[in-house]
Chain A
């Protein structure tokens, strides 16, 4: 069931009405939300629901056992088993075919051809996201950051809650489980922000992402050698916008839907293309995954505790493993390599920068910036370094997107080669597409608090006003958007 469909609208209307009717019976409400989440997931394929239940059971049991065990060694052993089982499930569905293909190839090369047990495996939608949530739960219990939950219902609902089930954001148990224990409440700020985020998310996905995909990106990436530099440049910028709008659109809708059910999720995107460094980019792009990789991969690898070389190596490894997670293909490995190398180089460059005076040091562009500047710095210099940082970061990210989007390494290399050929005019560089890309990128530089301000302004609006806003908002989106509903890109991961 995709968010921008009438099926989902009817489903949500029923869930909203019934779940709030049950608010005085929290346990019954949780059972209902769990059933609704499994119905939502089974809409793709009922067998996936069995896998989701199995994964939840493993993590609930592991959490309980870790919570009950006394010795550190025992706890570590149980954590190891739980993480291995989670990764085995993920690995089987994501890499089984690739592994057998590679094995068959190696055996054929060695003249030892065998009939291998090839299976037609369908990748369950969102398997990575619920696996990551499971791993985060058992690890947090092991680290004593949260207590093991007694009620299986809470763990099952935490892992399967439908707004974030198939493409994130990856919700932390420490954020979500306490909300399940508290009495559900729906205040005006949740309502206005929920409705606004749903509209913004639908616009990003149905209008911007779908137009760019169908009218430009898919055609150019299908055979880049048939196009000249202007089209290839526009298409890679368009893909940067498309994947952002597709993924952040989903996150916005998920956060909005959860808000209307009384649950708060953290932001998952924060205008990533205004980042002036790769470090800042990863604090603005898919924040829940970046934090997950930091806490459950980068830190266990040693984090920044082992000196400069070890830190750089850990950063690099984290990004490469992050790339491989996206899929068993060299293109994803290179995507991770580009980000890992750039982060390592950036860290090296930053270490040579002189630290500014503490009184004046301000992280540029809000929190999490990797570009440290001082308010006392001359204005021209500030703008110059910031602009340069944004441009360089954006183009490194775009270079990596080419590998991420290309069907194969050959296609990606042909694409990059074609970018140097500006002898022919562009076929696709028409005003509509150029304006769409430019406006979407420019929106990254609007004040970051705009959505919150708009939501605040909506708080006093009555039901009729909200209804007309929602109704005409969706009507406009449907009128402007191209025909059809494409799946979200991150469903495949």
Chain B
């Protein structure tokens, strides 16, 4: 029996088992509903996990806290909230905690800007025999983007640009948050 046929058979059996487990439990739980239940312990476990997650976000995404605090600018205590969140953010920035998120954003921004030319360029940059007259461009582009090869500007036709804000999931009416 070929690998593909064997894989297919295993896949079907697995999906069949999963389906059976789902039906048996009226949901997605693959074990009996009353097995291994320690509600009190699990509640504590989740609460602790949520608090840690909140801490991770407060440390590494302190800029998000500042943005959130701006929503309360007009409310009583709003000024104080903004002040506290800004000083927290400054503290995190000074200790370079926010660099992690900035670094990821930078990489994503580069990926978004890359063109097919950039990709093919990457492959072509490793010649079989190095030639001093045709210096290969670096494969790893510095984060500051200084040696990014020039690419054709991405132009959206004027007529195609929506009049309203672009950030929406649908052009149909949205609801106030």
Q: Which A positions have Cβ atoms within 8 angstroms of B?
A: 1-2, 5-6, 9, 13, 16-17, 20, 23, 44-45, 125, 175, 184-191, 193, 195, 209-210, 213-215, 218-223, 226-227, 242, 246, 255, 260, 262, 264-267, 362, 366-367, 375, 379, 382-383, 405, 407, 427, 430-432, 447-449, 452, 456, 462-464, 466-468, 470-472, 474-476, 478-480, 482-489, 491-492
- With beta carbons under 8 angstroms apart, the residue of B27, B53, B113, B159 that contacts A474 is B53
Closest to A263 in B: B27
| 15 A–B pairs (Cβ distance < 8 Å), ordered by A | A6-B64, A45-B176, A185-B33, A185-B39, A186-B39, A187-B31, A190-B29, A209-B169, A218-B162, A219-B162, A226-B160, A366-B12, A448-B14, A468-B52, A475-B56
Closest to A188 in B: B36
Q: How far is the CB of B85 from chain A (nearest CB, A)?
A: 12
Q: How far is the CB of A104 from chain B (nearest CB, A)?
A: 20
Q: Which B positions have Cβ atoms within 8 angstroms of A?
A: 2, 4-5, 8-9, 11-12, 14-16, 18-19, 22, 25-31, 33-39, 42-57, 60-61, 64, 68, 100-101, 104-105, 108, 111-116, 118-119, 154-157, 159-162, 166-177
User: Is B14 touching A449 in the complex (CB atoms < 8 A)?
Assistant: yes
Q: How far is the CB of B130 from chain A (nearest CB, A)?
A: 27
Q: CA A219 – CA B167 in complex, angstroms?
A: 10
Q: How far is the CB of A370 from chain B (nearest CB, A)?
A: 16
Q: CA A187 – CA B28 in complex, angstroms?
A: 13
Q: Determine the chain A residues whose CB is within 8 A of the CB of B171 once the complex forms.
A: 218, 221-222, 405, 407
User: Is A210 touching B42 in the complex (CB atoms < 8 A)?
Assistant: no
Q: CA A407 – CA B170 in complex, angstroms?
A: 10
User: Is B166 touching A264 in the complex (CB atoms < 8 A)?
Assistant: no
- With beta carbons under 8 angstroms apart, the residue of B22, B60, B112, B157 that contacts A475 is B60
Q: Determine the chain A residues whose CB is within 8 A of the CB of B176 once the complex forms.
A: 44-45
Q: Determine the chain B residues whose CB is within 8 A of the CB of A195 once the complex forms.
A: 46, 49
Q: Which of A17, A125, A479, A484 has the most CB of B within 10 A?
A: A479
User: Is A430 touching B116 in the complex (CB atoms < 8 A)?
Assistant: yes
Closest to B39 in A: A186
Q: How far is the CB of A38 from chain B (nearest CB, A)?
A: 17
- With beta carbons under 8 angstroms apart, the residue of A9, A184, A475 that contacts B61 is A475
Q: CA A215 – CA B119 in complex, angstroms?
A: 20
User: Is A185 touching B34 in the complex (CB atoms < 8 A)?
Assistant: yes
Q: How far is the CB of B10 from chain A (nearest CB, A)?
A: 9
User: Is B29 touching A448 in the complex (CB atoms < 8 A)?
Assistant: no
User: Is A265 touching B27 in the complex (CB atoms < 8 A)?
Assistant: yes
User: Is B42 touching A187 in the complex (CB atoms < 8 A)?
Assistant: yes
User: Is A491 touching B175 in the complex (CB atoms < 8 A)?
Assistant: yes
Q: CA A217 – CA B5 in complex, angstroms?
A: 39
Q: Determine the chain B residues whose CB is within 8 A of the CB of A187 once the complex forms.
A: 29, 31, 33, 35-39, 42
Q: Determine the chain B residues whose CB is within 8 A of the CB of A383 once the complex forms.
A: 4
Q: How far is the CB of A266 from chain B (nearest CB, A)?
A: 6
User: Is A189 touching B53 in the complex (CB atoms < 8 A)?
Assistant: no
Q: CA A193 – CA B28 in complex, angstroms?
A: 9
- With beta carbons under 8 angstroms apart, the residue of A186, A193, A219, A476 that contacts B42 is A186
Q: CA A216 – CA B2 in complex, angstroms?
A: 42
User: Is B30 touching A452 in the complex (CB atoms < 8 A)?
Assistant: yes
Q: Determine the chain A residues whose CB is within 8 A of the CB of B8 once the complex forms.
A: 382
User: Is B175 touching A366 in the complex (CB atoms < 8 A)?
Assistant: no
